[in-house]
Structure 1
C-alpha cells in the first residue's frame, strides 16, 4: 500500500481519541508528526513520530502529505488555508469553520490548489446513526412527518475552555454538538425550506449557548434538533414518527468510551455491540406489523479514515466534502440569525 505521511496539529482530546489511534492503526497512513507546543504526552504512545512545537514547523515538513487540523474552530480558517496553500491535503475537525462565508472561501482555495479538503464528521460512522439511516433508507416508517434528534450531556460546571464555552465567535453547543445533528439531518432528509432556533445559556460563568433547539421546516415534515448540558437523565436520542410507524433509538455507540479505555481500533469491527436492545420499532412494513426491540450494529470511525485513504490514493469520492460542510454552516448561520431576529429564516 502507498503510505500517506500525516501530521496532526494538536494532541488534545480529539487528537488522542479520534485521530491519532486511527491514523496509527490504518496500514495506509503513517503518523509522521504531532504538534505539541509545550508538552510531550504523545511521546509515550507514538515515540516514532516527530514532535513539532508549532504548526509552522509541521507545514515546513515536505514529507507530510496530509494535515489534520483538529485545533479550536476559531483557528480553522487560517490553518486550513495555510495548509492548502502549502500543498497539503487537509482533514479538518467539525465544526468546519465559524461561519459559512469562511467555509466557502476554504472550498475555493482547495479548488485553486487542487488539494483535497475533507471534514471530520465522525458521527456518520456511529452505530446508532447507521441504524437510523437504514430505517429511513428502507422507508420502514412510511412518509415521515415528525423527527427529533438530541445530543444531551450533563455538565453543570463550565469546563473553562474559552474556545468552547466563552464569548468567542464559534463557541457554544450549537456549533459543537449541533454540527453533528445538522449534518446527520441533511444526510437523511436533504435541504430544508427554512429554520427557526432558540438558544440559551443555562450555567453560570459560561459565555456561549449551552442549550439549543433548531427546527427545520420541510414541506410535510418537521425536524427538531436539540441539545443541552443539564440532562442528568436522557430520553431517546432519535425519535422518528411516520405514517406507518415509529422508531426510537438511543445514543448507544460505544466507540468513544472504548477509546477512552485504551482500545486500539482496526479496519474490521473492533467495538462491541450494545449488550441490551437500544431501539424500539412499531410499524407496518411490507404488509406486516412489526413491534419489537432492536439492537444496532457497532459503528467504526476507522471507516472515515479508510474512506479518506481511498479518496487520496484511489480517487474515490470525498467522504465529507467541503460542499456538504458548507450546508451545515449555512444552517448554523441561519439558526443564529433566527435566534437574534426571533423569526423563521428561509433558506435559499
Structure 2
C-alpha cells in the first residue's frame, strides 16, 4: 500500500497534541506525507495545508481515505474503537498515550494488528527526553553503582482546574492516565516490571472531578522507584533523583523539547533538542560533585524508527505490548490506592 511517494499519513484530531507533537515531524521528516485529517477546524486546516483532505469525523476518515498510517490524538476513551477500526481498514496506527483505558482492549488490538500485519505503536515520546537518556546512560555505564532508589517527578503548578476533557470525569481522565504512562514507561525501560506497587491517587484541588495527584512506589528486589505528579509544585521541578552504591544523580527542570515545539521551533537541526548548560544535572560521589552534560534527545527518533518499521519491517519504536504494561500498572495503582494495600504484580504477563 505504501508507495515511493511516501507514507500517506492521516491524523485524527487537530488540537494541541496533533499540532505540537506530531505534525512538526510528519511535515519535516521524509518519507511522511500529511494527506488527511478529521477535525472541526476545517477552515484552519485548509488555510494552513490546502492539499490535505479534511473529514468532519474520524469514522469517515478511516473508512474513506487512502492513508497508510493513522495517528490518533482523540480523547483517551475513544482510542480503542478508533484504533480497531483503523486496523480493520488495513492501516498502520500510532496512538497518543495512553494506549487504551482497559487492559483487555489493548490485548484485542495487539491480536488484531498481528492478524492484519500492521504496525501498532504508542507515542511514548519521552523515551527520547535528554534527561531520561542521561539517567539511562549513567546507569548503563555504572557511574552510580547498583541503583537502590529512583525518584521521578512530573510536577506542575496548576492550582486551578481547567475546563478540558483530561480533567473531566470521563473514562481515561485524570492525571494518572495523562502523565502516568510517560513516567511508568521510563521506569519500565530502566528496570522492567516491578514485583509490586503501592500507590496514592488523590483529588487534591477543591473543584477537581478526577485525580490530580499520584505517588507511586514500584517495588523491585534490590531497589524501589517512586513516581510522583502534583499540581501544587511552584518550585523548580525535581525531575530525577537516582541514588546508587557509588553516587547520586540529581536533575531539575523539564526536557526543553515541548516548550520549543510550542514556541514554533521546528526539529530541523541535529541539536535542536539539546539542553542549555545551566540545566545540566549533578553527579555526587565520594570524590566530589561533577556536572553531567545532558544527552541530546529528539522526538524525531520515534518517527524515524516508525518509518523503518512500516517500510522495512523493523521493530516499532514503541511496541503495543510494551505500552500495555503501563495500562496494567495504572489499574494496579488504582487498586492499591482504593484498598490502601500493596498490590503484587504478575511479571509473566
Fold equivalence (TM over 0.5): yes
Query: CA–CA distance in 2 between the matches of 1:46 and 1:133?
Result: 39
Report what 2:296 is aligned to: 298
1:118-172 deviation per Cα after TM superposition (whole angstroms, max 9, x unaligned): 10001011111111111111121111111110101111111111x3112212111
Q: Does 1:59 align with 2:62?
A: yes
Tell me how far apart the structure 2 counterparts of residues 297 and 269 of structure 1 sit (CA, whole Å).
10
SS at match of 1:40: helix
Tell me if the contact between 2:251 and 2:281 (Cα under 8 Å) persists in the aligned partners.
Answer: yes
Q: 1:129 aligns with which of 128, 132, 137?
A: 132
Aligned ranges 1:1-348 → 2 under 5 Å? 3-161=6-164, 163-266=165-268, 268-283=270-285, 289=287, 291-348=289-346
Q: Judging changes above 3 Å, is the alpha-carbon distance between structure 1 residues 100 and 329 closer, same or farther for their aligned structure 2 residues?
A: same
Residue deviations 1:230-251, cap 9 Å, x none?
Answer: 1111342100000111001123
CA positional deviation for 1:272: 4.4
- Cα deviation per residue 1:2-50 (whole Å; 9 max; x = unaligned)? 5100000001000110011110111110000111125532333323222
Once the two structures are superposed, residues 159-193 of structure 1 have per-residue CA deviations (whole angstroms, 9 ceiling, x without a partner) of 111x3112212111111001110000000011100
Q: How many Å separate the matches in 1 of 2:328 and 2:55?
A: 35
- Measure how far apart 1:106 and its partner are: 1.1
RMSD: 1.5
Instruction: Output the CA distance in 1 between the equivalents of 2:269 and 2:33.
Output: 15
Decide whether aligned partners of structure 1 residues 256 and 248 sit closer, same or farther in structure 2, where only a CA change above 3 A counts. same
TM-score (norm. length: structure 2): 0.94
Q: Is the 8 A contact 2:11 2:73 kept in 1?
A: yes
Question: What is the DSSP-based 3-state SS (H/G/I as helix, E as strand, rest coil) of the residue aligned with 1:152?
Answer: coil
User: How many residues align structurally?
Assistant: 343
Aligned-pair distance for 1:290?
A: 5.5
Which one is further off, 49-58 or 143-152?
49-58
Task: Judge conservation of contact 2:213–2:229 (CA < 8 Å) in 1.
Answer: yes
The C-alpha deviation readout for 1:47-79, integer Å capped at 9, x for no partner, is: 322221111231134521000011111000100
Q: Structure 1 stretches (4+) deviating beyond 3 angstroms?
A: none
Q: What is the distance in 2 between the residues matched to 1:154 and 1:41?
A: 31
298 and 45 in structure 1: CA distance in 2 versus 1, 3 angstrom threshold: farther
Where 2:70 maps in the other structure, the secondary structure is strand
Deviation string 1:71-94 (CA, Å, 9 cap, x unpaired) is: 111000100001000110000000
Question: In 1, distance between residues paired with 2:216 and 2:298?
Answer: 28
* Alpha-carbon distance in 1 for matches of 2:254, 2:109: 34
Contact 1:196 1:215 in 2 (8 A): yes
Q: TM-score, length-normalised on structure 1?
A: 0.94
Q: List runs of 5+ in structure 2 lacking aligned partners.
A: none
What CA distance in whole angstroms lies between the structure 2 residues aligned with 1:307 and 1:143? 31
- Tell me if the contact between 2:158 and 2:231 (Cα under 8 Å) persists in the aligned partners: yes
State whether residues 267 and 306 of structure 1, in contact with CA within 8 Å, keep that contact through their aligned partners in structure 2.
Answer: no
